[in-house]
Every structure is written in C-alpha cells, then in structure tokens.
Amino acid sequence: MNQEARKPMTRAIVIGANSSIAQSIIEQLLADSTVEQLIAISRKKTPDLLSKFGSKLRWICCDYSEEAIKEVCGNLNASEKDFSHVFICNGLLHTEQITPEKRLEDIGAEKLQAILHTNTIVPMLWLANLAPLLKSKVDCSVAVFSARVGSIEDNRSGGWYAYRASKSALNMLIKTTSIEFSRRAPNVKLIAFHPGTTDTQLSKPFQRNVPEDKLFTPKFVARSLLEIMENLDRESGAEFLDWAGKPISW
C-alpha cells in the first residue's frame, strides 16, 4: 500500500485518567488498532489497564501542581509529537466537606477556591503548557470536560454557585484559547464537552431525580465523545457540545 494513503497512527493524551469516563476513553481508544500510543496522566496509576494494554499505554503520575504540570509537559515536548487527541477530564463537584450551594449563604471562600482550582485553573494550566506540543501538521482535537450548568444563558434554576462559575470561567478560557490557537496552532480544534449525568462518584448524590434514560454509563459517554471528535467541523472555532453532539449556548 502507498505509504501516503495509509491512515496515520493515532496518538492521544488522557488527563485525569483515573475518572470513570477517562478510563472508558482509554479502553476504547486502545482497543482500536490505529492507536499507536496513549499517554495517561493522573495522581496514581491503574495497574489493571497497564497490564492489559502493555507498551501502548504509558502512564505518568502528576500531582497537578503548576510545577508538576510544567515538568510533565516539558518532558513530553522533548520526546513526543504529533498527538491527534487530547482529553482533559479533571473535575470536582463535591467532597465530604464541599456540597453544591443551594443559597447564597452557603458560599464560602475556601469552597469557591477549591472548585475553581480543580475545574478551571488546572485544565488551563494543561492547555497552556501543552500548547507547544500540540502545534504540528497533524490535526489535533482537544476535549475539555465542562458542564451544561456552566452555560450562562441556560441557567434557569440557580444554585450551585461555585460549580457553575468554575465551568463558565472554563468555557470562556477555552473560547479565548481557541482564538489564539487559530493563529499559533491552527491544527488544534477545541471543544468544551458536557457528558450529561453519568453514573460516576461525581454524580452519585444527585442521581435521584434523573430519568433512567438520562443517566449514562461511562462507556456510553466515552463512545459518544469519540464519535463527536471524529466528526468535528474543523473550520469553526471552539464549540460547546453535549454528549449527543448538540451545541450548548455559551
């Protein structure tokens, strides 16, 4: 076969790789014979996935501090190139100490800072430090996990102040980054992705009133996202899309 006619091998990065959706993305990508290598990044490794996929999967541990993110991206920049897919899956909605606010009086500085740091600052640190690595002749699609509640226009129920604000800020930063990438790295296509309510630890406390057909499995969401990324309009700027590929108002 003519070498130029062959489909280029896919290389991908999955950040926040220990989340349920991220692990489904990893499994589905690495089951594809066109995928040459996937780099997973998280605080801890997942031995089962490493043993299952061997050398196709490279796992990097990172504590998500600014210094650690710079170091990881610097090392990748020196040794890796031509990535076609990047998934930034970091996200925080609640902890034992933090729950979404139902009223103004529930707002606290530490809660706001924690949510904004994980949902807004960390993804942007990855985008900023990955930028030199993603610029190439290879089309690269970057999905950053957002949420419909981050839509200012779509906010009809109020509440969830910190989470809404963190995702709204993230969306603005994604859109702004795409404008700069159109000049510096026109091969890169950015999307803010809303996975819907997925059956994960993040959504467990909030699933009671979700219709059965609107509570998705991580496998379904991963498959939907991969299909969306294969059919993006690369001539448009950043897009805010849901799990079905439908646009959401910024």
Residue 52's closest CA among 19, 85, 14, 26?
26
Most confident of 16-30, 92-106, 200-214: 16-30
Highest mean pLDDT out of 1-5, 141-145, 217-221: 141-145
| Domain residue ranges of the chain, discontinuous segments joined by + | 7-242
Can you give the pLDDT at residue 112?
95
Residue 176's pLDDT band (cuts 50, 70, 90): very high
C-alpha pair distances (Å), 188 with each of 85, 168, 214, 217: 9, 21, 31, 28
pLDDT bracket for residue 13 (50, 70, 90): very high
Give the strands of the sheet with 57-61, arranged side by side. Answer: 57-61, 35-42, 10-15, 85-88, 140-145, 188-194, 239-242
Sign of the C-alpha dihedral, residues 146, 84, 43, 22?
A: positive
Instruction: Report d(CA 89, CA 128) in Å as an integer.
Output: 16
pTM: 0.91
Could you name the CATH architecture of 7-242? 3-Layer(aba) Sandwich (3.40)
* Whether the predicted pLDDT of 1 surpasses 60: no
Report the C-alpha gap between 209 and 141 in whole angstroms.
Answer: 34
Joined tokens for residue 35: 């995928």
Say if residue 3's pLDDT is above 50: no
- What is the band of 14 on the pLDDT scale with cuts at 50, 70, 90? very high
> What value does the mean pLDDT take over residues 174-201?
92
What does the block give as tokens for 224? 């939907």
Q: Are strands 215-216 and 85-88 parallel, antiparallel or unpaired?
A: unpaired
pLDDT tens track for 177-187: 999 999 999 99
% residues pLDDT > 70 (the chain): 89
Residue 53 pLDDT grade (very low, low, confident, very high; cuts 50, 70, 90): confident
Share of the chain above pLDDT 90, in %: 72
Instruction: Report the chain's C-alpha Rg in angstroms.
Output: 18
Residue 195: how many other CB atoms lie within 10 Å:
25
Q: Which tokens is 36 given?
A: 């040459």
**Helices H / strands E in the chain, number of each:** 7, 9
Single-letter amino acid, residue 108:
G
Q: What is the pLDDT of residue 183?
A: 95
